[in-house]
Amino acid sequence: MKKLEIIIESVELSKVIKAIEKVGVRGYSLIKDISGMGKHGKSVSTSLVDVNEYNMLVIVDDEVKINQVIEKVKPIIKIYSGIMFLSDAEIISC
Answer whether 16's CB lies under 8 Å from 6's CB: yes
Structural domains of the chain ordered from first start: 2-88 (3.30.70.120)
What span, in angstroms and rounded, lies between the C-alpha atoms of 70 and 80?
A: 15
pLDDT given at position 44: 52
pLDDT in tens, 49-76: 555 789 999 999 999 999 999 999 999 9
Return the beta strands (E) in 1-94 as ranges. Answer: 2-9, 29-34, 36-38, 41-43, 54-61, 82-88
| Under-70 pLDDT residues of the chain | 37-51
pLDDT given at position 42: 58
Give the number of other CB atoms < 10 A from CB of residue 10.
Answer: 17
pLDDT given at position 2: 97
